[in-house]
A and B are shown apart, each in its own frame.
Chain A
């Protein structure tokens, strides 16, 4: 009796396999995928992951795609965790592309090499921009470049994406800025409203409410083009400054990346990439993303890998510039 049931089950399984697209999607049948998010629940990375997870579930025969929040040390803990996860195709993860800076200058705590992750894709870039407060005398890039007094910029702190980007851009375009750290979340926006900080360089989408409410306006974009707002490359005159701007630009264009641990088997990686692509092209996902107000601008597989590899390929001089910029010249 038991043998008969087993045989019957095997038969059903075989039938299911031949019906499905291939053996690898069969591997996923009835399993769970963990999606590691390198921040706490609720941030931008978490929002993207939760949105995509629902659709991965639709395109893979898995039972569940489970979000695992692994926050800490500015995304490093999450990336380390993904690096050490079993490369069986059942774990993927998302973290800040800004870790590229850290790898370039050899920061502490990095167990991983970004080149070796099995890249699945990116959901969207994360364009940056400079927003200036309406309380501030600086109204345009021309004002900023000509500023004689240091212009007060806010940042979350040394090591954060906002800090590194601001330092790099200031050194690229020779801007006279005074970066004041410690403004996390929306504290920087409050400070601009009080007339303390003049400007912030940050993720464009995070300023949406601030701009819509009429407290300030954009004067520069980077990592994406914005109508009526100049791009940083327009101001990069020398070879060095073009180089630095192109790094910030490349990282911003990478944005919301997802990867699997290194040495994930090729066939499973391909299955994951296909499901990721199908999810991000699903009209329902696009509609949902529009409703929650997050942009979708995807790239897949080896294209993303290539972007990461290119961003990590810098001359020692540029690396030295970056090191100076993100350490505040201090170390």
Chain B
């Protein structure tokens, strides 16, 4: 690899006040788009395109990549503080982030989220570097057959997230899967459970479902219980900078987990078609699975914040790979970035490796720097954010409910989603009230369509023989291992995990 080229690119950024200024503007803008539910990075890039239109390629690309790569850093904030996910991939952060806030550890949770996001972003960029030579075979190894089995593997994680009752977890998970079938059947065009309502043709909106299952029940129970989000007697030390630094420290204390989930995230990001929602839930499941004390999850385990947050930032580095070198975007956000790159005069495709590596290095450095800058910026404001968890419920609830309804509307620009929000939040409330686990619902809803769609494709392409493909056998082995591991854990040691996973 051309070392001088790599460091020249760094110098291009750091040595130019103009480029650094662009980074400093892009980072808070990106985090803003992440933190407001329903906006998201895709819309951010679309709205930024007119501003970068006149810029030269390096500056424009740097601005866009910096903005796009820190969206999920911002998205973690409302997930942790109010149980309102800023973006879909930040939803998994709620499961342990919100209980941490309730335990008076909002500062620590925010610190862990920022640290994890920053580390994830940097590892994602390094992953991009490392995989460059093997890119083509690795990406092309994933066909619909492997997608199907990967989704199936993800669905087995429901068992890990079921807490004290596997039956309850499975029931909720199956209910999520059932909701995933509400849409126009992609194979036949027949309406499934849409009741002649057009907004259901594209399926149940995930952001709306997550808001209904997590955010609204939290607000109801906060209203009923009174007090503030943090259910501790007095303001603890943990909302100050000390808590934030403790959270950042946690990321490095669990360094094995952080690095693993960052790599899984980058890997999933690299394969077009799976998406960030799947990445963060699979990593969350992995954190529970690999923990020695899985019963702590859902009660405010810091690892439950670290895993999804490393993954949703590292996937950006991963998904940049196929976007740049195949001109095949790794995610819908990347598809828009791709269009913007072309507009700036960058021509993605295999030819880029020969002619445009300097711009690739700039993008990699931009990705890393933006993630680091995002962490530094957030450390400054984290204590005041953490203080929000001590605001009285009756002041907080109206604001959060407004955000929730806004998010449900904006995510699909359909008022009907607000009605759906109300209906599903009844379900969410009772699940919470009777301590049924809620994460399986979201897993079913997210992975159901991937499983269905790729199963159809794999069957159409190869028939049942798709299970015999080498990649498919590996994924199948992983799934079996995951189930056996779960059973072994039930049988050996403790009789069963004692705690609920109701979150």
Contacts and interface: CB of A to CB of B under 8 A. Distances in A.
Given A47-B339, A190-B272, A70 B413 contact: yes
B324 to A, nearest CB: 11
Contacts, number: 140
Interface string A160-181: 0000000000000000001011
B189 A41 contact: no
A185 B329 contact: yes
B187 A72 contact: no
Given A108-B191, A157-B187, A193-B326, A72 B198 contact: yes
B201 interface: yes
A158 B188 contact: yes
B152 interface: no
A328 interface: yes
Given A183-B457, A193-B326, A213-B349, A42 B188 contact: no
A322 to B, nearest CB: 14
A293 interface: yes
Given A72-B202, A292-B343, A180 B188 contact: no
B279 to A, nearest CB: 17
A152 interface: yes
Contacts of A327: 189
A182 B188 contact: no
Contacts of A331: 190
Interface in A96-110: 108-109
Interface in B39-70: 42-43, 45-47, 49-50, 53
B381 interface: no
B457 A180 contact: yes
Contacts of A149: none
Interface stretch (A11-19, A74-82, A228-236, A242-250): A74-82
A6 interface: no
A190 B272 CA distance: 8
Nearest to B332: A185
A215 to B, nearest CB: 8
A194 interface: yes
Given A108-B196, A187-B273, A194-B140, A157 B335 contact: no
A4 B350 CA distance: 70
B184 A159 contact: yes
A214 B460 contact: no
B189 A157 contact: yes
Contacts of A116: none
Interface string B333-344: 001101100110
Given A186-B328, A196-B461, A41 B335 contact: no
B389 to A, nearest CB: 33
Nearest to B352: A213
Contacts of B186: 156-158, 181-182
B486 interface: no
Nearest to A107: B189
A26 interface: no
B189 A209 contact: no
A126 interface: no
B414 interface: yes
Nearest to B452: A182
Contacts of A27: none
Contacts of B338: 209
B348 interface: yes
Nearest to B338: A209
Interface string B86-125: 0000000000000000000000000000000000000000
Interface in A32-56: 40-42, 46-47, 50, 54
Interface in A74-127: 74, 76-77, 80, 108-109
A285 B1 CA distance: 42
A191 B453 CA distance: 14
B132 to A, nearest CB: 16
Interface in B123-165: 139-140, 143-144
B202 A46 contact: no
A213 B456 contact: no
Contacts of A68: 413
A212 B351 CA distance: 9
B500 interface: no
A85 to B, nearest CB: 14
Contacts of B327: 209-210, 212-213
Contacts of B349: 209, 212-214
Nearest to B196: A108
A46 B187 contact: no
A291 B187 contact: no
Contact of B188 (A80, A185, A213, A330): A330
Nearest to A328: B188
A24 to B, nearest CB: 28
B460 A178 contact: yes
B347 interface: yes
A70 B185 CA distance: 21
Nearest to B139: A190
A41 B328 contact: no
A72 B199 contact: yes
Of B185, B190, B327, B350, chain A has the most CB atoms within 10 Å of the CB of B327
Nearest to B46: A41
B413 A42 contact: no
A158 B184 CA distance: 9
Interface string A184-215: 01110111011010000000000001101110
Nearest to B454: A182
Contacts of A183: 457
21 contacts: A40-B42, A41-B43, A50-B49, A69-B413, A71-B413, A74-B201, A80-B198, A156-B186, A180-B461, A182-B453, A190-B322, A193-B140, A193-B328, A209-B338, A209-B349, A212-B349, A213-B350, A292-B342, A293-B342, A293-B343, A331-B190
Query: 8 closest pairs, A vs B, by CB?
Result: A158-B189, A209-B327, A157-B186, A213-B349, A73-B201, A42-B336, A41-B46, A292-B343
Interface of B: 42-43, 45-47, 49-50, 53, 139-140, 143-144, 184-191, 196, 198-199, 201-202, 272-273, 322, 326-329, 332, 335-336, 338-339, 342-343, 347-351, 412-414, 453-454, 456-457, 460-461
Given A181-B186, A186-B328, A190-B326, 14 more contacts: A41-B43, A41-B46, A41-B336, A42-B42, A50-B50, A73-B184, A181-B456, A182-B144, A182-B456, A190-B272, A191-B144, A196-B144, A209-B349, A288-B53
